[in-house]
Structure 1
Amino acid sequence: LGMWQTGTPQPPSLHLLHTLSVLETYGWCRTLDIDVQGRLCMRGAQTLLVKTGWVTPDGRDRAVDHMHTVLAQAGVHMQFFAWNDLPGRTFPHVRALLTRAAHHAHRSEIAP
C-alpha cells in the first residue's frame, strides 16, 4: 500500500483529493468496493483511507456530505456510491465529482 499506510487524518477537502489519488493509482471500478484486479470504487478508496489513518470516520462523513451537496446541485438525489455504479458512469465523471466536492469542502473549511 506504500504511501497510504500510517497517515495523519486530513480535513474533508484533502480526503476527497486523496480519494481521487487512490483511484488514479489503483484504478476505479463500479459495483464493488474493490474488484479482483485491485481497483476500487469511491467508497472503497475512502475505506482504505479510513483504515490507514488518513481520515477519521467523522471526516469521511463530512466529505460524503460535500459530495452529496455537489450531486444535489446537479439535480442528482442519490447516495454517491449508487451514483458511482450507474451504467454509463466513467472515471472522468468520478474525477469531476471528487474535485468539485474537494473545492466545496475547502471553501467551507476556510470560511469564518
Structure 2
Amino acid sequence: MNTDFASDFTSPQQATRTATPPAHRPLAPDGSLTAVPAPPAAPDWPTWGQRMLPALLRNLLVDLGMWHNPQPLPPSGHLAQTIAVLDRYGWCRSLDYSPTGRMCIRGAQNLLEKTGHVTPAARARAVDHMQTVLARHGVTMPFHAWNDLPHQQFSNIRTLLTRAAYTARANGE
C-alpha cells in the first residue's frame, strides 16, 4: 500500500503553480482559451450567531433578504477550497478541529458545509473523488483514517485534494 503521494505526483509547489492543461480549459465563443478561474478563498470562521442559527432559520432569513448565503461550489471547487482552508488555518490529524484551530480534511469540509460553501450532495461527490484517488494507489481505508496515519504529511494531503479536484473537474463536476 503506497500512502506517500508526494513521490507519485509532482511536488506540492509544482502542483499549485501548474495551470490546467489546455485540453481541460474552457473555450471562449471565439475558440480562444479562457483564463482558469482563481481557486476559492477560505472563509472566515463562522460567528457565534452563525453557528447557533439553524440552517432552516438561516434559509428563511435568506428568503426575506436579511441573510446572504454563499454560492455553493461543485465538488472540484469544494476540494480546491478545502486546500485553501487547510492552508489558512493549518492541518492536523486525529481531530476534526484541534484546540489551536487546525483542521483535518473532514474538519475543513465540515466548516465549508456549515458556512454554506458546499451542499451535502456535492461534498459526498467530493469524498467519492478522494476515495477514487486513494484506491488508484492501493489505499482501501476511508480518507479520514488515511489523514490520521502517524507518518502522514501535509504534502500528501494537498496532493490528494489536488488530484481529486482534477478528477472531479475532468468528470464535469
* Alignment TM-score, normalising by the size of structure 2: 0.61
Q: Which of these two proteins has the greater Rg computed from alpha carbons?
A: 2
Displacement of 1:87 in angstroms is 1.1
CA RMSD of aligned residues (A): 1.3
**Which of 36, 43, 52 is equivalent to 1:3?**
43
Corresponding position: 1:20 with 2:60: no
Aligned residue identity for 1:14: G
| Pairing partner for 1:72 from 135, 141, 161 | 135
Shift of 1:33: 0.3
Structure 1 segment 19-38 matched on structure 2, within 5 A: 19-38=82-101
Partner of 2:110: 47
In the alignment, the residues of structure 1 paired with residue 144 and residue 43 of structure 2 have an alpha-carbon distance, to the nearest angstrom, of 25
Identity in percent = 56
Runs of 4+ in 1 over 3 A off after TM superposition: 2-6
Q: Number of aligned residue pairs: give it.
A: 109
Structure 1 residue 102, shift from structure 2 partner:
0.2
Residues in 2 aligned to 1:79 and 1:90: alpha-carbon distance in whole angstroms: 17
Partner residue in 2 for 1:94? 157
Gaps of 5+ in 2: 1-41, 47-68
Relative to the length of structure 1, the TM-score reads 0.93
Write the letter of the residue equivalent to 1:53.
G
Tell me the distance in 1 between the aligned counterparts of 2:111 and 2:117: 9
Structure with the larger RCO, 1 or 2 (CA within 8 Å, 6+ apart): 1
